[in-house]
């Protein structure tokens, strides 16, 4: 599956349905920020669920996997849940939960459309996977039928892998594993990620290239990493995400250039359909709207 040198026209053969598998909603007016120790998003980093629905529609995407952001909200998932409730069954969620989450709380999240829990290793105060409490939480969310979504930088996977393997849980990895692009494909953390992909119980989000790249768009220095991930995980375990509304960036970013990267990476429309629809359906439980089970 060769990576293109120049993007063409993503709309030339759009799939009937398409999922943005990584985005956030932040609405500081309706849901004031409640994380006193976390990063406080600036005005250019805020995007409401209504604004996100507009962005999706404008670019021909129909569904979304929304991730509750540690920035602003931490384990307060209400803003995300409100967006899911207003989506007509087209959104699902990835929650942030603490070690002290009750069974009733986890079930309420599941009833609200949550299908996974995210663990962010980058910020002090985020829920840790280390120790007995971390392993117990993984076991509980596995019992819910959820996956563990992990966010780390550089070689952070090396610390997480033994814990995840002990729990035997399905894993979703954020943002191509956030490799250090100037250290090459052989860096230990990235090689461990490729091996994780070959085992078949994990999915990778082809997202966040702008966070790893040392170059301007189209972030060509990330191409070898994306190619290696597609080869290791296969398209059956690759999904695409925008990372809208682009938290922790110095100025407002546009959705279109980030979306166009997918055609650069996967020039075959059939391959893009797998990443945008078939694989998210299997991993996250999406259904076409005319399906009578849509949104369940």
In sequence order, what DSSP letters do the residues of 196-218 get, joined into one string? HHHHTSEEEEE--HHHH-SSSTT
DSSP 175: G
Ramachandran area for residue 52 (φ above 0: left; ψ -120 to 50: alpha; else beta): alpha
Q: Where are the domains of the chain?
A: 10-284
> Pairing between strand 91-95 and 19-23?
unpaired
Question: By three-state DSSP, how is residue 153 classified?
Answer: coil
> Taking the alpha carbons of 200, 235, 195, 218 in that order, is the dihedral positive or negative?
negative
Bridge partners (DSSP) of residue 185 are none
Task: Give SS3 for 224.
Answer: helix
Give the tens place of pLDDT for each residue, 22-38: 999 999 999 999 887 77
Smallest Cα–Cα separation from 62: which of 99, 20, 95? 20
User: What pLDDT, on a 0 to 100 scale, did the predictor assign at position 123?
Assistant: 81
| Contact residues for 185 (Cβ-Cβ < 8 A; gap 6+) | 191, 224, 225, 228
Comparing C-alpha atoms, which of 216, 151, 218 is closest to residue 178?
151
CATH architecture of 10-284: Alpha-Beta Barrel (3.20)
Residues 286 and 280: beta-carbon distance below 8 Å? yes
CA distance 229 to 238: 8
Residue 4: per-residue pLDDT: 47
- CA–CA separation, 291 vs 21, rounded Å? 20
Q: What residues have CB less than 8 Å from 124, skipping those under 6 apart?
A: 37
Q: 245 preceded by cis ω (within 30°)?
A: yes
Give residue 15's pLDDT. 57
Confidence at residue 20, expressed as pLDDT on a 0 to 100 scale? 98
Q: Cα dihedral sign for 145, 114, 196, 229?
A: positive
Which residue in this structure is represented by tokens 């980058």? 122
The pLDDT of residue 119 is 97
* SS3 category, 240: strand
pLDDT of residue 295: 36
- With a cut of 50, which residues of the chain have pLDDT below it? 4-8, 11-13, 291-296
Query: Nearest to residue 64, comparing CAs of 275, 290, 283, 241?
Result: 241
Q: What is the pTM of this model?
A: 0.92
The 10 Å Cβ neighbour count of residue 185 is: 13
pLDDT at 290: 61
Q: Which two tokens stand for residue 20?
A: 């943005």
pLDDT at 39: 79
The tokens for 126 are 């985020």
Residues 141, 169 contacting (CB under 8 angstroms)? yes
């Amino acid at each position: 599956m060769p990576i293109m040198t120049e993007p063409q026209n993503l709309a030339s053969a759009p799939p009937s349905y398409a999922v943005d598998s990584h985005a956030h909603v932040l609405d500081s007016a309706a849901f004031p920020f409640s994380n006193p120790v976390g990063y406080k998003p600036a005005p250019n980093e805020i995007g409401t669920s209504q604004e996100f629905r507009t962005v999706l529609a404008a670019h021909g995407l129909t569904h979304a996997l929304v991730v509750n952001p540690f920035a602003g909200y931490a384990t307060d998932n209400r803003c995300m849940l409100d967006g899911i409730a207003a989506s007509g069954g087209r959104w699902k969620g990835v929650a942030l939960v603490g070690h002290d989450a009750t069974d009733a709380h986890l079930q309420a999240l599941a009833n609200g459309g949550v299908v996974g829990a995210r663990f962010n290793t980058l910020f002090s105060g985020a829920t840790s996977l280390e120790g007995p409490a971390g392993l117990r939480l993984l076991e509980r969310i596995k019992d819910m039928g959820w996956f563990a979504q992990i966010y780390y930088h550089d070689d952070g996977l090396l610390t997480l892998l033994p814990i995840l393997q002990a729990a035997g849980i399905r894993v979703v990895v954020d943002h191509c594993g956030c490799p250090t692009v100037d250290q090459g494909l052989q860096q230990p953390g990235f090689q461990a990620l490729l091996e994780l992909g070959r085992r078949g119980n994990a999915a990778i989000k082809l997202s966040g290239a702008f966070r790893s790249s040392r170059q301007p768009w189209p972030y060509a220095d990330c191409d070898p990493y994306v190619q290696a991930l597609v080869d290791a995980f296969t398209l059956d375990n690759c999904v695409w995400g925008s990372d809208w509304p682009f938290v922790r960036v110095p100025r407002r970013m546009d959705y279109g250039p980030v979306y166009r990267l997918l055609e650069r990476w996967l020039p075959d429309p059939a391959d893009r359909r797998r990443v945008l629809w078939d694989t998210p359906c299997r991993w996250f439980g999406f259904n076409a709207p005319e399906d009578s089970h849509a949104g369940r």
